[in-house]
Amino acid sequence: MAFSILRRVSLFVLPWLILGSGFAHAFEIDKPIKEIRIEGNQRANAGTIRFYIRSKEGEKYSVKQTREDIRKVYSLGYFDDIRLEVEDQPDGMVLAYVVKEKPFIKSVTYKGITEIPEKDVQSMTNLKKGAFFQRHVAIKDIQKIKKKYLKKGYYFTEISYITKDAGNNQVDVIYDVKEKSRVKIGRVYFRGNKFFKDYQLAEVIESKGAAFWSIFSESGNYQREILKTDVLRLEAYYRDFGFMKARLEDPRVEVDKENGMILITIAIHEGDQYFVRNITAEGDSIHTKEEILGKIKLKKGDAFDQSSFRTSLFQITDMYSNDGYAYASPLPEIREDVESKTVDINVKVDAGQMVYISRFNISGNNKTSDNVIRREFRLLEGERFSGEKLNRTRQRLQNTGYFASVDIEQKSGKLPDLMELDISVAEKETGQIRAGLGYSSLENLMVQAQISESNFMGTGKKVSVGAESSTLRQDYFIDFTEPRFKDRDISLGFQIFSHQYDYISYVTRSKGGSLTLGRALGEYTDASLGYKLENVEVSLNSVVTNIGAFLQSQAGMRTTSSLTASVARDVRDNNVSPTTGYKSDLVAQVAGGPLGGGVNYYKLTLGGSEYSPLPYGFVLMGHGEIRYANSYGGQQLPIFEHYFLGGPTTLRGFNFTDVGPMDTNRDSIGGDSSLLFNVEVSYNFTKMLQGVAFYDRGQVYGEEGDLTKTTSNKYDLSNMRHSIGWGLRFTTPVMPIWLAWGFKLDKRPEESGMEFHFTIGRTF
């Protein structure tokens, strides 16, 4: 009976009894495991613990296996201590895994946080209420919070955690933050640079000394990762000017606690500058050496520009890929002559074999039909590969507006000369319910409401119903467009509308509808033909006196029956936020004659916009538009077909009453021709915010009414109104919001010097 008292022993005692004592013969470890118990757990699930225990009932007891069991259970992170108690019974061994659980987190709070939103800190910490407290997780949380503070320039902020006993093996966790003053970069010093001035190198890097605006932004903050990237930027910059062996030392970062700033010193070893001596190429059966050399922008005598040469190699690759050689690889050989500081360049190309498209695999389109995606493909299954067509396919899919992202991955097919394309799309919301407000100095408050769906039931059809109202305007419309009728390059659409506009001296009211048929004439060119029938009523404002003879002759109801033909070419890289390319439009409209109706006229419009990238992410846009209208059959051109300029989408800084012919009471009556030029420089601060600086110049010409603000000489470049200004464009998930401040450069005494434009849901 005395032995029974000793039969329950600790795992840590058991090996010594077995290996170093004559008492071991009384402990029969050859017995099978009779039972496995889990003891001490209050919150941890016993089933989860058993899953990690590999010792099994009925098997022989193993010291090695029980040690491995304890290690695996401990790795769960739920326990502070685990021990094994073994009880020897006549018919087997009873194993008891006794665990001591880590404290349970009753609450997590934050102390001392003022400079960062607490919700941001909460989202980045992994310790949560209702979980086991783990010290290493708390330490990682502190590192994340510190990183957030470092990014904002709070370099000396101290963060720790405190645990308080909450009873029942629970703890309250408190992250204690001791915020210090924000520390900015005081200055970045360069040492060893001879070819470039300090200010030239400072423009290359992102780490910059703090300026006066740094208190409102994160500029001037020190970030170690960005500084490492800056070193790579500087090395690449030197290599673009022929310094092939330029080398930079690790930056020296010093903290000036007294002045609360960081000083950075970057040491540069420029080396020698190398120039191009000879450039040769080896042609093949696909492209001649002259064709290959034509893609290389470097010339003899140029400083060896690494970036330019790399771009040339990409262009050579693209040239071969457009012929079906998807895996073509240029093999450049660059030979340096140390004595003359020159390089000889030779390029040959390993074309590989021609590759054909075997199949497309489409994923991510939960709503959009496969055929809506496939009809945008410019590559066909069985066709030879083309990099140009692949890029165009990606561009067309993005331009549909149905997808937040489009990824195309090239994969090897079942045979070496076959390729599969995995097209993965992430759909975005295409249905919108818009309700917004706008403002202009002329129309005052504008209210709009619109329900639209640009991908109706995943078919690509566009449906829109909307209304807009202000003190001068009431617009109502229903739009429907089938952009690809039966998946062909044909579009069909109709519109029903009701428009009313108050021009102060008179009001126009029009109701009608239109039908439009469009067809693609090429990859970048489209044409359309539309028919419109509308009734237009012009009524004079009885309050206004001294109305001229022309305006009085326009009063009454007329029916307009017209055809409009247009041709548009669009080679922009993106139709939402373009950075390169151009778009041009030619529109011709004729009304009356064989079409019927009570009005005979024709109108011509030619317009275009071109986009060019500028350094540092800026984009230059130039826009021009010329319009002309005239009547025939002995009629006058009706006033409701006159042209006007002024407002947020044409001549900013002006409203329509400031430009063109006027009635005798000096209210605008528009003209029969117009000329408009816009120049913009834009910069995307974020994906949603764009800043714009602009110069607008335009005029409306005519022969009727008071021509004090214009002339009857068509397209007189010396007689134009112009303005400058700046604006902001917000691309929200609901609709675009534009704000613009335009300032007249030729202000007249009776005019305001500035116009503020605030619009929602319109595009330029």
Look up tokens 């930027």; give the residue.
Answer: 233
The answer for residues whose C-beta is within 8 angstroms of residue 75's C-beta and 6 or more apart is 52
* Residue of 95 and 734 predicted with greater confidence: 95
pLDDT above 50: residue 11? no
Please state, as a whole number, how many other Cβ atoms lie within 10 Å of the Cβ of residue 192: 12
State which of 142-156, 597-611, 733-747 shows the largest mean pLDDT.
597-611
Where do the structural domains in the chain lie, given as residue ranges?
A: 2-101, 104-178, 184-269, 275-350, 358-427, 431-760
**Mean pLDDT estimate for the chain:** 88
Please give the CATH number for the structural domain made up of 275-350: 3.10.20.310
Q: How confident is the model over 514-533, as pLDDT tens digits?
A: 999 999 999 999 999 999 99
C-alpha distances in angstroms, 328 versus 152, 284, 412, 576, 621?
A: 46, 12, 14, 33, 36
Q: Which fold has domain 184-269?
A: Ubiquitin-like (UB roll) (3.10.20)
Question: What average pLDDT score do residues 481-494 get?
Answer: 92
Strand partners, 333: 346
pLDDT above 90: residue 727? yes
- pLDDT value, residue 733: 60
Structural class in CATH, domain 431-760: mainly beta
The model carries a pTM of 0.66
pLDDT above 90: residue 483? yes
Alpha-carbon distance of 486 to 492, in angstroms, equals 10
pLDDT above 50: residue 9? no
Alpha-carbon distance of 326 to 348, in angstroms, equals 16
- pLDDT value, residue 647: 87
Is there a shared CATH topology between the 275-350 domain and the 358-427 domain?
yes
Number of C-alpha atoms within 13 angstroms, CB side, residue 150? Answer: 12
| Cβ–Cβ < 8 Å for 281, 224 | no
- pLDDT value, residue 437: 65
- pLDDT value, residue 211: 58
- pLDDT value, residue 439: 60
Q: Which fold has domain 2-101?
A: Ubiquitin-like (UB roll) (3.10.20)
State the sign of the Cα–Cα–Cα–Cα dihedral 397, 402, 404, 410: negative
pLDDT above 70: residue 591? yes
Per-residue b or e along 697-725, where b marks 16 or more CB atoms closer than 10 Å to that residue's CB: bbbbbbebbbbebbbeeeeeeeebbbbbb
- pLDDT value, residue 307: 94
pLDDT above 80: residue 545? no
pLDDT above 60: residue 253? yes
Q: How confident is the model over 364-392, as pLDDT tens digits?
A: 999 999 999 999 999 999 999 999 999 99
- pLDDT value, residue 26: 44
pLDDT above 80: residue 13? no
Question: What average pLDDT score do residues 154-179 get?
Answer: 89
Q: How confident is the model at residue 8 (pLDDT cuts 50, 70, 90)?
A: very low
Question: What average pLDDT score do residues 155-165 get?
Answer: 88
* Residue of 674 and 27 predicted with greater confidence: 674
- pLDDT value, residue 734: 59
- pLDDT value, residue 52: 87
CATH architecture of 358-427: Roll (3.10)
Q: How confident is the model over 547-574, as pLDDT tens digits?
A: 888 888 899 999 999 999 999 999 998 8
pLDDT above 90: residue 757? no
Least confident piece of the model among 307-316, 354-363, 655-664: 655-664
Structural class in CATH, domain 104-178: alpha beta
| Cβ–Cβ < 8 Å for 105, 130 | yes
Look up tokens 């690889």; give the residue.
Answer: 329
- pLDDT value, residue 442: 61
Q: How confident is the model at residue 723 (pLDDT cuts 50, 70, 90)?
A: very high
Q: How confident is the model over 282-303, as pLDDT tens digits?
A: 999 999 999 999 999 999 999 9
pLDDT above 60: residue 17? no
pLDDT above 70: residue 165? yes
The answer for residues whose C-beta is within 8 angstroms of residue 13's C-beta and 6 or more apart is none
- pLDDT value, residue 443: 66
Alpha-carbon distance of 437 to 425, in angstroms, equals 33
Q: How confident is the model at residue 185 (pLDDT cuts 50, 70, 90)?
A: confident
pLDDT above 70: residue 193? yes
Structure-derived torsion over alpha carbons of residues 32, 34, 36, 39, reported in degrees to the nearest 10: -130
Read off the DSSP letter of residue 269: E
pLDDT above 60: residue 10? no
- pLDDT value, residue 754: 92
Amino acid at 612: S
pLDDT above 70: residue 131? yes
| Cβ–Cβ < 8 Å for 144, 120 | no
